[in-house]
Amino acid sequence: MNQVDYLRISLIDRCNFRCQYCMPEGAELDYILKQNLLTDEELLTLIQDVFIPVGFTRFRLTGGEPLLRPCVVELVRAIASFEETQDLSMTTNGFLLAPMAQSLYNAGLRRINISLDSLEPDIFNQIIGNRGRSRWQDVWNGIQAAYSVGFDPLKLNVVVIPDVNDHEVLDLAALTIDKQWHVRFIEFMPIGNAELFGDRGWISSAELRQSIRTRWGLTEAQVRGSGPADVFQIPGAKGTLGFISQMSECFCDRCNRMRLSADGWLRPCLLNETGQIDLKTALRTGVSTAELRQQVRELLAMKPEINFKLRDSGTTGMYTRTMSQIGG
């Protein structure tokens, strides 16, 4: 079991996209009221006085869409300023990124993951649930802006959906050849979207790798991270290809993270909430940070026994909350 030192922080549960795999059409979304979100002060208190003292040094800001959070640049600057912060990153859909990329970088953000599920605007709009003007160009502009200001690594997240965007895998993989971009293919998960999870189910990472290997060859990348991706490289490419295989391969023994929801719930696992702690209510009712640190330590001790093993659950409809409500 890896040391658990990585906290995914959901800044907001709202999003300006409605992606099929995250917020399926027809899903009833009960958004968190503003007064029930962690305030900036509460979040920074938890990071500085609870999470850092128990060993968390790496933080990823997520959503919903984190760039919708008011004062997000100031939050980035504050978290980056803690001397114990070894790594600060963000996952975004990229729509609002172009005009914010330089400010985020100047504030101390250095790593960014951007969702790019298709290179074809019509398919992209279909996936994100957009019926108005195309938003693909705005996202592409955000990617280019992040690249130009120096985000490294710049990762592109691709959820591979059978019969929707799987025919684009080679085109997406080719983005890594000439630029130091890192494409991450993610197996489609049935979370609150069981009606999309058809007879074919997900496409395994092994199948995707074989397709790429047949076209160019594929070697194991020298740079290895502590995250869930198995990392490979097209020979001679500047970037890398990662494969996140939560459906076909259990990687719970490599998990080094916990998740903090936008309303202050600390959860040990994406889909297993055993032992979750309501930190926001505790803070607001006067529980000391010393007591909260002890509660977090106890949850950390439980984590090796907590995992989701979704593939073995026997049903693709076992989880009713959507990915946006979980925190990604």
Q: What pLDDT was estimated at residue 192?
A: 55
In-domain check, residue 1: no
In-domain check, residue 39: yes
The residue-averaged pLDDT of 269-274 equals: 75
Output the average pLDDT for the chain: 87
C-alpha to C-alpha distances, 214 to 158, 175, 237, nearest whole angstrom = 20, 17, 16
Q: What pLDDT was estimated at residue 6?
A: 97
| Nearest C-alpha neighbor of 104 from the set 65, 57, 72 | 72
The residue-averaged pLDDT of 132-140 equals: 90
DSSP 15: -
In-domain check, residue 181: yes
More confident of the two residues 24 and 72: 72
Beta bridge mates, 111: 89
Domain that holds residue 27: 6-326
Query: What band does 326 get if pLDDT is binned at 50, 70 and 90?
Result: low
Query: What band does 134 get if pLDDT is binned at 50, 70 and 90?
Result: confident
Q: What is the pTM of this model?
A: 0.91
What share of the chain has pLDDT > 90, as a percent? 67
pLDDT at 270 > cutoff 90: no
The residue-averaged pLDDT of 67-87 equals: 98
CA 162 remoteness from chain centre? 21
Q: What CATH number does residue 161 fall under?
A: 3.20.20.70
pLDDT at 314 > cutoff 50: no
DSSP readout, 137-165? HHHHHHHHHHHHHT-SSEEEEEEE-TTTT
In-domain check, residue 201: yes
In-domain check, residue 53: yes
Q: How many domains does the chain have?
A: 1
Q: Where are the beta strands (DSSP E) in the chain?
A: 6-10, 58-62, 87-92, 111-115, 154-160, 181-187, 219-220, 230-233, 240-244, 257-260, 265-267, 277-278
Distance CA 252, CA 303 (A): 10
The residue-averaged pLDDT of 285-290 equals: 98
pLDDT at 139 > cutoff 70: yes
pLDDT digits 0-9 by tens, 152-187: 889 999 999 998 999 999 999 999 999 999 999 998
The residue-averaged pLDDT of 6-25 equals: 86
pLDDT at 26 > cutoff 70: no
pLDDT at 27 > cutoff 70: no
Q: What pLDDT was estimated at residue 12?
A: 95
pLDDT at 327 > cutoff 70: no
More confident of the two residues 321 and 77: 77
Q: What pLDDT was estimated at residue 19?
A: 83
In-domain check, residue 12: yes
Q: What pLDDT was estimated at residue 312?
A: 44
In-domain check, residue 252: yes
pLDDT digits 0-9 by tens, 228-266: 789 999 999 999 999 998 777 766 777 889 999 999 999
